[in-house]
Amino acid sequence: DAGVTQSPTHLIKTRGQQVTLRCSPKSGHDTVSWYQQALGQGPQFIFQYYEEEERQRGNFPDRFSGHQFPNYSSELNVNALLLGDSALYLCASSLGQGANTGELFFGEGSRLTVL
Amino acid sequence: QKEVEQNSGPLSVPEGAIASLNCTYSDRGSQSFFWYRQYSGKSPELIMSIYSNGDKEDGRFTAQLNKASQYVSLLIRDSQPSDSATYLCAVSFYGGSYIPTFGRGTSLIVHP
């Protein structure tokens, strides 16, 4: 049973560039959430996708955008990168929209460094 | 602004002791509560979920929820060095969908 897979695992960008991160959810899961985790902090919610639509969004600027495909995989795009965007980006999958949606299965993350 | 508060620690306990990790939350409408474990350099892993007041036990782990006090805790019995990690408390409520808000985590060190 494949878990959540993310790519790439590490990447280095310079300020102003754009980045795309990819995620495949756990088999059978239909909901994908993206989180940003800075060093020493808890994960911060970016947005959630369900049925190919953005269902909720956290307090992140429009530079952060995403997409969910018919096979439930997802992409996170960040434009005009800033130094402060350096973080671990976590993709998490879950099933449905019930109270147990908080039972998240995380991928290993994509560590982004912006120089 | 919904907040989840945890003492960042580190909490240091000897091997075999009980480790007690605490979390408070600000939103009285919160409905679902979770504990995640995150080893250094790794991603979070769900270890416990609790949805109603009281205790829930799973092996060496016990989650305790008190909605009146807006307090959730995690007890780890017979702590092992392999339990050394950061423990993240997460709380969710229904705002169109259930989105967990995470605390900053408590670092636990279990020393031999």
Pick B98's closest partner by Cβ from A40, A101, A105: A101
Average pLDDT over residues A21-46: 95
Q: Please, are residues A8 and A110 in contact by the beta-carbon 8 Å criterion?
A: yes
CA distance A41 to B18: 25
Is the Cα torsion angle B59, B7, A87, A66 positive or negative in sign? positive
Average pLDDT over residues A56-75: 96
Pick A48's closest partner by Cβ from B94, B97, B102: B97
* pLDDT at position A2: 75
Asked if the Cβ–Cβ distance from A100 to B32 is below 8 Å, we say yes
Six-digit token string for A108 = 């290993």
* pLDDT at position B1: 67
* pLDDT at position A100: 65
Pick A99's closest partner by Cβ from B4, B31, B42: B31
Residues of chain B neighbouring A104 (CB-CB closer than 8 A): 34, 36, 44, 46, 100
Per-residue model confidence as pLDDT tens for chain B (112 residues): 678 999 988 999 999 999 999 999 998 888 899 999 999 999 999 999 999 999 999 999 999 999 999 999 999 999 999 999 999 999 987 766 678 999 999 999 999 9
DSSP of A39-95, one letter per residue?
A: TTS--EEEEEEETTEEEEE-S--TTEEEEE-TTS-EEEEE-S--GGG-EEEEEEEES
pLDDT at position A101 over 80:
no
Residues of chain B neighbouring A5 (CB-CB closer than 8 A): none
Contacts of residue B57, defined as CB under 8 A and 6 or more positions apart, other chains included, come to none
Residues of A with CB under 8 A from a CB of B: 33, 35, 40-45, 48, 50, 55-56, 58, 88, 90, 97-109
Residues of chain A neighbouring B45 (CB-CB closer than 8 A): 106
